[in-house]
Amino acid sequence: MAKIGIVDADLLDRGTRFPNLSLMKLAGYKEKVEGYTIELIEDWDKINPDNGQGYEDYEHIYVAKVFDFTQIPINLDKIPNLTKGGTGFFWVEASSPSHRLPDEIEHFMPKYDLYDQFIEHEIARGIKPGKFTDYQEYSIGFTTRGCIRKCPFCVNQNCDHVERWSPVSEFLADLEEYPNRKKIYLWDDNILAFPQWESVLNELIATGRPFSFRQGMDIRLMTEAKAKKICGAKYIGDYTFAFDNYKDKKYILRGLKPWLKYAKKQTRLYILCGFKGQGALDIAETFKRIQILMEYKCIPYIMRHEFYEKSPYKGTYINLARWCNQPNFFKKKSYREYCEANGENSSTMRYARKFEEEHPHIAAAFYDMRFDMGGKTPQK
């Protein structure tokens, strides 16, 4: 039987928390409709054209990556029977008709067991099974696609609307075939900007399965009706939104007020930093957003854009992520206390001291603010 090779390039480079949904759909279609045997390729050497003709074992090879920084150690252009796809190769053009999956594949049930053999191999070499929860316990899909915001850092920057994409039934795993997939997560870009948002939520609720939206939802579009509906559903984990720009403070707060009336568990907001700038101003605005969330008892999650690596204060960005992204530390220690806890001679303290020496007014305003005091600084 002819064989198709599937390569998740992100997985083979740095690893990834999430399976590649496009590859699972492609594998499902090629197996169920076209009758191919499917193999997830776990080693680049298996198809490296410089090592021989191993790629000829496959009728065709599909390689996808989500991230543009993912490294591929072989020359894919030397492999004639290979197709590349994903935002990691084509960025904003990935959704254009010439690069996206054909409709019959895009709307096909994912092959949810695509990664099973890889996971078995990883567990056999000592990796804890819990690392693969997102691969094994969820149905995964988009109920809507698109956004209205045109953010310059986003693959949706050319979009101007949100459209209905898939009914939940299209990707809802059959529990007889996949008994462990009792939950759902969604990759919708901006569900709250979809005019018929309530019908989508009703469809998810009707499954009886707990669900979550993995992209940061748009808190600026929150209303009392949306808050009540979401908080009344079986929602998995923290509620997650986005606070990408300090200039949006007014709209973020307007959305948080109705939201917090109904939210019964932790609310987290992604804080993008290092994109517009990488200097003291960007760090100060990051601290300001953290302070606002402290006041409202919300947890920040620092998302460092890759541009942060160009900053003279790269270490401060690292410190902020380590402090905020570990809620047990963040809720109990100020930024200064967190840095001091790493030891006087640690790189963490070295970064903190350097920034304070060069920008004492910023450090004075934010280094000692505390979550348990609503963002205020203790009186000395």
Residue 179 pLDDT? 96
| Nearest Cα residue to 316 out of 290, 289, 360, 278 | 278
Global pTM? 0.92
Q: What is the 3-state secondary structure (H, E, C) of 211-239?
A: EEECCCECHHHCCHHHHHHHHCCCECCCE
Residue 292 pLDDT more than 80? yes
pLDDT digits (tens, 9 = 90+) for 106-117: 999 999 999 999
Mean pLDDT, residues 312-322 taken together: 98
**Apex 356 CA angle, 352 and 358, nearest 5:** 125
| Nearest Cα residue to 334 out of 288, 302, 366, 379 | 366
Residue 43 pLDDT? 95
Residue 240 pLDDT more than 80? yes
The larger pLDDT score, comparing residue 241 to residue 90, is at 241
Mean pLDDT, residues 78-87 taken together: 94
Residue 78 pLDDT more than 70? yes
Helix axes 224-231, 249-262, angle to 10 degrees: 50
108 and 25 Cβ atoms separated by less than 8 Å? yes
Residue 329 pLDDT more than 70? yes
Residue 158 pLDDT? 85
As given in the structure block, the two tokens for residue 196 are 């018929």
% of the chain residues with pLDDT over 70: 99
Residue 380 pLDDT more than 80? no
The larger pLDDT score, comparing residue 98 to residue 250, is at 250
pLDDT digits (tens, 9 = 90+) for 203-230: 999 999 999 999 999 999 999 999 999 9
Distance CA 283, CA 277 (A): 9
Residue 349 pLDDT more than 80? yes
User: What mean pLDDT is reported for the chain?
Assistant: 95
The count of residues in the chain is: 380
116 and 96 Cβ atoms separated by less than 8 Å? no
Residue 221: count of CB within 10 angstroms of its CB = 19
pLDDT digits (tens, 9 = 90+) for 103-144: 999 999 999 999 999 999 999 999 999 999 999 999 999 999
Residue 199 pLDDT? 98
Residue 1 pLDDT? 63
Residue 35 pLDDT more than 70? yes
Distance CA 273, CA 302 (A): 7
